[in-house]
Structure 1
Amino acid sequence: VLRLHDGKLIKDRRYHLRTYPNCFVAKELTDWLIDHKEAPDRETGIRLMQKLMDHYIIHHVCDEHSDYKDAKLLYRFRKDDGTFPLDKDVKVFMRGQSLYETLVNVEDSILKVREENSVKYQRTFVGCEMIDWLVQKGETANRKEAVELCETLLEHGIIQHVLGKHRFFDSDLLCQFRINFRRRRRLTELLNENAPRTLSESPDSPFCLRKLNPEQGNTSFLSVQLTKEIKVVSAVRRSSVTSLAGGSNPYFNITPSLGSLPAAECNPKSVLKRPVTNEELLSPGAPYIKKTLTIVGDAVGWGFVVRGGRPCHIQAVDPGGPAAAAGMKVCQLVFSVNGLCVLHLDYPTISSLIMTGPRTLVLEVMEAIE
């Protein structure tokens, strides 16, 4: 996805007087796969993209086609429009990847090559040191949660005892990351899978706001501002990759699911009454006040949706989530994320900053003076 964005293959496109953001043309992408040696021929390229469709990675912008067609049709990565469904396995994988990348990039990392019984093992760490690090860096609230997190990573094959003989304990046992997340994988590896992914029977993502008419398969969600009437938008709740779900552990108290998603409404209408520019927002005497919100994510996420760009705005707020409790409201404009000014960024970039940051989120917002 990043390579396609950098190459401008993914961009906003107009079709029949309507703008579809962050889209690619199927035929152009097939050409790109061949030119960049990701596929040897068009047939393989089509099979690869169909695989991504089957796993809910990409979709036709209006969900009119269930098959990937090598034609001038618009498709989109679900990660770019917020409709990517996160089941438990995916969340655990993403959390493991996030922790691995952080550990690799820090100085004097606890992740090292170590010996056990005269055998060298890559990507190893001592169990109790990992617990110390998770608590110290705010990845978990306490040692109990840190142990539960590591147990979940072990159960899903992200980490293991180097000899595979023990479960995870807060001790000096030597463990390692089984997966080298830095290894670049080629798309053609998708075609070598022996078994298809097992999908949950439930079609709903646990990270939605609040679903309307679920028995009818309606995909609209409620965008709630505490002091105003409820409005309908199509969105998913942005979940935290720094918290996992599932199982009987109190720290993982939500059971995500991934299934055959119903057709999603494209490009939800902005809740803003009119567009706002940065120049207008920052001009002297502008009718806006700045507020600082400190939001501590729970086991599901922070409970709000960001949309738009330059500046972005709050499109939806879960009335029962951490963001609402911190005073967030629909239509507020996002000024900074964890001290970084984001007025010049679009919503996918801001969402990525939030998702990959700490669980405690410090957000500065601009609110119109009524």
Structure 2
Amino acid sequence: MERMGSSMKKKATARQHKAEVMIAGEQLRLRLHDSKLIKDRRYHLRTYPNCFVAQELTDWLISHKEAPDRGTAVRLMQHLMDHDIVHHVCDKRSAFKDAKLLYRFRKDDGTFPFNTEVMVFMRGQRLYEQLISGRSSILQVREEQGVSYQRSFPGCQMIDWLLQNGEAESRRQGLELCRALLEHGIIQHVSLKHHFFDSALLYQFCINFRRRRRLAELLSESEGEGLGVDGAGEAGPQMQEDSTDSPFVLRRTSSQEGNSSFLSVQPSKEIWVVSSKRRGSLPSQQNGPGGYFPPAALSSASLAKCNPKSVLRRSVTCQELLSPGAPFIKRVLTVVGDAVGWGFVIRGSPPCYIQAVDPGGPAAAAGVKVRQFVYQVNGQCVLHLDYRAVTRLVMTGPRTVVLEMMEPLD
């Protein structure tokens, strides 16, 4: 039986900590928006959108008991800077200073670095939400060698679930996905002894995506305190009870109990939604936010980069697109998502348009190009919808997405 080496365990733990930092950073970002600490600010005759002042944030962290003193607050924010969660507005400073300097969350300006690690994390969070929200979830209390483990699942049953829910086309693809989740610290064998196998061995999610994080945990975890589930089967610090305060919690609305559409607890806020065939949203700063549909494969080296500047040469209205004789042609494109995603970025509110395309992804192969406007998704007109609604349609739809696009003639 193949065993997990110590080096793999260390890598998984480090990656798991990065995932915890991303979740904590996103929760902090939403709280700061709610507190109006993030807003457009003017400095030297230039306006910087969605920024916060470092000194004001330090005061906020102390007043909200997220940090006991200013030194700890600075260390916390430096930790987020080191993980590419926040940055100085001009990217000229690599250190976080407790001063009247402007900083910004990379998710607010579309410069968040989407790499393989982030995409696997997003995929894992999406699967976790689907599994937790299901009425007959495979996550149950199970025993292995006389020890009980909460929310555990046999490896073979997880692959069955992936196939039944269209998250994998074959058992081999399901196995590769689960092994990627394990290698990136999203799931693990309950006693940390084995890699992932299509067998009756028990596994658990290492991360409770719904738990509200305290920023102080980030420093203690980075200094070596435990992550994950211990050998006795008791949940580690991140496996506490679900918190409905988390911006990552997905809930059915009362009017939607009968369908598969999910909305955020905070519908006015963007959320990271893990996705494989279904995508999450990525707000970005330009004329309007945008939805990110991760690139093609786990091993893809060419990743779609989120450019904070719009690719449109000029603003276009819905009326202009629909007017007779407009210089646009319609094209129907079928994009089949692979193990990770579709590989394109949308923006606009409304109309939505294609901001970026992964050259090695399914979208590029299907003919999706930048500057195309999204007219229909799976037969439904979305021209007058913003990126949130369009993202939701794609996210809750089938793996194969039929897009009707309006393409400029010039």
Match of 2:77 among 49, 52, 66: 49
2:66 and 2:101 map into 1 onto residues whose CA distance is 21
Distance 1:174 1:340 in 2: 44
Q: Which amino acid aligns with 1:367?
A: E
Q: How far apart are 1:150 and its partner, in Å?
A: 1.5
Matched with 1:10 is 38
Q: How does 1:138-177 map to 2 (within 5 A)?
A: 138-177=166-205
- 1:36 corresponds in structure 2 to 64
Deviation per CA, 1:15-74, whole angstroms, max 9, x where unpaired? Answer: 445444433332333333233332233332222111111222111121122222233433
Flag structure 1 segments of 5+ consecutive residues without an equivalent.
197-236, 246-252, 258-263
Contact 1:154/1:168 (<8 A) preserved = yes
Q: Which residue pairs with 1:332 in the alignment? A: 372
Amino acid at match of 2:86: I
For 1:142-191, what per-residue CA distance to the aligned partner results, in whole angstroms no more than 9, with x for missing partners?
11011122123233443233344443322233322233232222111122
- Give the partner amino acid of 1:294: T
Instruction: Mark the CA change 1:265 to 1:172 in structure 2 (over 3 Å): closer, same or farther.
Output: closer
Shift of 1:332: 1.5
Q: Which runs of 4 or more aligned residues in structure 1 lie more than 6 Å from their structure 2 counterparts after TM superposition? A: 349-358
CA distance in 1, matches of 2:97, 2:109: 20
Aligned pair partner of 2:353 in 294, 297, 313: 313
Partners of 1:77 and 1:12 lie apart in 2 by 13
2:342 is aligned to 302
1:277 aligns with 2:317: yes
Which runs of structure 2 are paired with 1:195-210 in the superposition (5 Å)?
none
Counterpart of 2:363, as a letter, is A
Q: 2:213 aligns with which of 178, 185, 198?
A: 185
Compared with structure 1, are the counterparts of its residues 92 and 322 closer, same or farther at alpha carbon in structure 2 (3 Å cutoff)? closer
Q: Cα 1:72–1:303, aligned 2, differ >3 Å: closer, same or farther?
A: same
Aligned to 2:253: none
Give the secondary-structure state (helix, strand or coil) at the position aligned to 2:142.
Answer: strand
Aligned amino acid, residue 304 of structure 1: F
Q: TM-score, normalised by structure 2?
A: 0.63
Whether the 8 Å contact between 2:352 and 2:387 is mirrored in structure 1 is yes
Over 3 Å counting, the alpha-carbon distance change for 1:114 and 1:291 in structure 2 is same
SS at match of 2:161: helix
Give unmatched runs, 5+ long, in structure 2: 1-28, 226-290
1:126 aligns with 2:178: no
What letter corresponds to residue 315 of structure 2 in structure 1?
P
Match for residue 103 of structure 2 among 75, 78, 103: 75
Question: 2:223 matched to which residue of 1?
Answer: 194
Which range moved further: 125-134 or 66-75? 66-75
CA-CA distance at 1:308 after TM superposition: 4.4
Separation (CA, whole Å) in 1 of partners of 2:381 and 2:76: 38
Letter of the structure 2 residue corresponding to residue 41 of structure 1: D
1:211-250 matched pairs, under 5 angstroms: 240=294, 245=298
Q: TM-score, normalised by structure 1?
A: 0.69
Residues 238 and 304 of structure 1 are in contact (CA less than 8 Å); yes or no, is this contact kept in structure 2?
yes
- What letter corresponds to residue 365 of structure 2 in structure 1? A
Specify the code of the residue in structure 2 equivalent to 1:302.
Answer: W
State the distance in 2 between where 1:20 and 1:293 align.
37
**Taking structure 1 as reference, are residues 157 and 318 closer, same or farther at Cα in structure 2, changes over 3 Å only?**
closer
In structure 2, give the amino acid aligned to 1:325.
A
Please state how far the C-alpha of 1:285 moved relative to its aligned partner: 7.2
Cα–Cα, structure 1 residues 256 and 114, in superposed 2: closer, same or farther, change >3 Å?
farther
Call closer, same or farther: CA 1:140–1:10 in 2, change over 3 Å: farther
Distance 1:311 1:346 in 2: 8
1:238-294 Cα shifts (integer Å, max 9, x gaps):
6628x763xxxxxxx34699xxxxxx99843x3323212345445677655554432
Between the aligned partners of 2:383 and 2:59, the Cα distance in structure 1 is 34
Structure 1 residue 125 displacement after superposition: 1.3
Instruction: Measure the CA separation in 1 of the matches of 2:42 and 2:126.
Output: 35
Do the aligned partners of residues 331 and 23 (structure 1) sit closer, same or farther apart at CA in structure 2, a change above 3 Å counting? same
Contact 2:110 2:307 in 1 (8 A): no
Q: Is the 8 A contact 2:297 2:341 kept in 1?
A: no
Corresponding residue number in structure 2 for 1:113: 141
Question: Secondary structure in 2 aligned to 1:43?
Answer: helix
